[in-house]
Structure 1
């Protein structure tokens, strides 16, 4: 691990972090643009599930997660009015880390933080949409592909290779 990596730390997102987190996301996920309003929305609805990776005073990554309904996915780049009353899973909306900070376990660390929040909130499952060939990464974290015909059309709005994945426990 380089000295730069050693200085990167995850912490809870604060309201003043939202704009920079959105900039990081759009720099990394050029094919999955989301407006700043989406980041503000998720933070306002569920700040306990929002984290930033900092190196000094710079935000170099983020993770956004929130309660949702199992076997359902939010529409990409859409503000949601409220979290579902019948939330039955803990949904990982997105994790993005600038390239210089991707090694050293930074992504795995935020997945553990999110899993801890899911457990704290009483969720037995976690779910996500895997894109950019990340299936293997998520499988190493205990997620498995769940093929649901009802989600196929919505998954296509993410990308041709988008997969719905779930982790139990």
Structure 2
């Protein structure tokens, strides 16, 4: 992902997450803070999908539509903030390769696990990608409520079997 991709990323995010839309500044900041975890699916010069991940403390969920300010110094834990595709790019097998690329990149940087919040009924999808539900404390459970019904905190250990 580059700065020139941000408009396309915002458009894809708007279509994929209408209930949890985040401002352009959030995407710009995440790219600036950790470009190593920002990827786009380019189709004929247009952004058709994106993935954004960055170091974040285990068991914590970054606030939606808010600036992060800074990232933790350790890359041991990575948070997969978003994976989204434009409607015309969904269901075409793009997810597994980009998630695997993230796994390889983060493993190469010393990360031990990747966490995410499953929303919109995607728990089975993420389980197929090697993520497992993790019970959190009361504070985490309260934060998950803001993501909608069925939101689930999930983790993929990076020392496990490849998909």
TM-score higher than 0.5 = yes
CA distance in 1, matches of 2:74, 2:52: 20
Aligned residues: 157
Conservation of the 8 A alpha-carbon contact between 2:75 and 2:110: no
Distance 1:73 1:38 in 2: 15
CA distance in 2, matches of 1:133, 1:83: 29
Instruction: For structure 2, list consecutive stretches of 5 or more residues without a partner in the other structure.
Output: 159-163
The equivalent position to 1:158 in structure 2, one of 143, 147, 155, is: 147
Find runs of 4+ consecutive structure 1 residues off by over 4 angstroms: none
Counterpart selection for 2:109 from 121, 126, 130: 121
Output aligned runs, 1:47-66, within 5 Å. Answer: 47-66=35-54
1:15 lines up with 2:6 in the alignment:
no
The Cα of 1:110 is off from its aligned counterpart by 1.1
* Distance in 1, Cα, partners of 2:109 & 2:28: 21
CA distance in 2, matches of 1:115, 1:78: 25
CA distance in 2, matches of 1:32, 1:155: 12
Change (3 A) 1:104 1:27: closer
